Amino acid sequence: MYEYFTDPDTVARPSLHISRSGLLRHWGNYHIDKIKEYYNNHTGYVKNEHLLVRFIKSFPVPLMSNDERYYMNVMAAGLDHSMLMRMTSSIYNGRIFKGVFYNPEDSEILIAHDTEFNFVEVNKRWAEVSAITVLRHPRSDLDLPLLDGETVSVEKGTSVILLNIPLLMCQWRAFRLEQIRKYEAGESSGILGAHHFIKMFVLPSMLGSHMEIALINRYRNILYGKTNNSIGRSHPFVLPPIDNLATDVQTRTIEAMTKGNFTMRQVMNGLTAITEPNFNIYYILPKLLATNQVQWALEFSIMKVIELLFDLVNRSHGNSSQTQKNALRAMYRAMRSNKRFSAMLTPSDYSETVGLVDKLLRNEIQ
């Protein structure tokens, strides 16, 4: 079903008007912006052993190529280099990593891709670029810790992270060239390296997508009667808490949906997001070649979202479209026929995912 979410919805749809949802978006974006601003402007670093530091340092394209040549070379070399680091992609199964971004012992699936972008704009706005997108994680807190693999949460599970390799490398090049320029102009006493770049710009840029998935997890917890979590203060400055505000908005959203008659797209339109007005606008995923090597990871990445959407449609007494039902059946067949699902996922993740799809199919037949 991954492909269902790769195209924007062009149909004008009525939306739920939940009071204070605009306030939630305001404060959520305020948190993200303040955290980014702090780390962008305070020198910090991750350990040299960090996977992304090793990835950047070993990338086989020299920085001093001209802009267009560098872009073409990293586009050509990106997936091959990700394969050497054993990331999942359209050309390689990959492996399960541990604690690169989330809990130290938690499983993480890192999906590399090379979706095209405007490298001229990236060179101008490199500090605002987000080359890494979180597709799935287990946390429901809104404390936005920096995703450095060292912050521990009681909420554990497998995460899925999407990395645009050429975009990451172009962002790194722009950062490095600016460091060289500042040093040569006497504006700085040294040149910051890849371990600074990751801490100051790459990890903070992930917080937007991290928060959106945290909201999905919170919607799920409210719907299924589970408790949302908080890990407390995560940064050396104070931010006003938004947990109670989020709970209020999300609870009333779900209550409103149970009284309506919604399609899946209408449900997405009614779920408040932070970086976009709603999940119908935010949740547009990159178009990737869904080969057998990567299909298992792509489908696994969206399963929690799929369950939430189908269950909200059913509780609203709405109907899923035939296209959505067919996509769900195709996903189930793929899980049974593509041995990579059972080989790559942990036994518990595989069992849970197959059981979840089976449950949704049975609900649709009833």
3-class secondary-structure state, position 47:
coil
Of the candidates 350, 312, 311, the one whose C-alpha atom is nearest the C-alpha of residue 334 is 350
The Cα–Cα gap between 186 and 264 comes to 57
pLDDT score at 49: 94
What is the model's pTM? Answer: 0.93
Token pair 């990445």: residue? 301
pLDDT score at 14: 63
Residues 6+ apart with CB under 8 A from 258: 315, 316
pLDDT score at 286: 86
The Cα–Cα gap between 139 and 135 comes to 12
For the chain, where are the alpha helices, taking DSSP H only?
21-40, 51-57, 67-84, 119-124, 165-184, 194-197, 203-205, 207-223, 243-257, 264-270, 279-282, 292-315, 322-337, 340-344, 347-365
Hey, what are 129's tokens? 């670029």
pLDDT score at 41: 95
With both helix axes pointing from N to C terminus, report the angle between 67-84 and 165-184 in degrees, rounded to the nearest 10. 130
The Cα–Cα gap between 212 and 344 comes to 26
Which residues in the chain show pLDDT less than 50? none
pLDDT score at 318: 65
The Cα–Cα gap between 338 and 342 comes to 8
Q: What is the pLDDT of residues 206-252, one digit of tens each?
A: 999 999 999 999 999 999 999 999 887 778 888 999 999 999 999 99
Of the candidates 271, 340, 336, 282, the one whose C-alpha atom is nearest the C-alpha of residue 308 is 271
The Cα–Cα gap between 199 and 44 comes to 6
pLDDT score at 64: 79
pLDDT score at 278: 86
pLDDT score at 349: 92
The Cα–Cα gap between 241 and 204 comes to 19
Question: Does residue 260 contact residue 275 with C-beta atoms inside 8 Å?
Answer: no
Please count the structural domains in the chain: 1
Hey, what are 359's tokens? 């449950």
How many of the other CB atoms lie within 10 Å of CB of 256?
15
pLDDT score at 258: 85
Q: Exposure of 210 by Cβ count < 10 A (0-12 exposed, 13-18 middle, 19+ buried)?
A: buried
Residue 11 CA from chain centroid, whole number: 25
Residue-number span of the structural domain to which 179 is assigned: 2-365
Buried b (16+ CB within 10 A) or exposed e, 73-101: bbbebbbebbbebebbbbebbbebbebbb
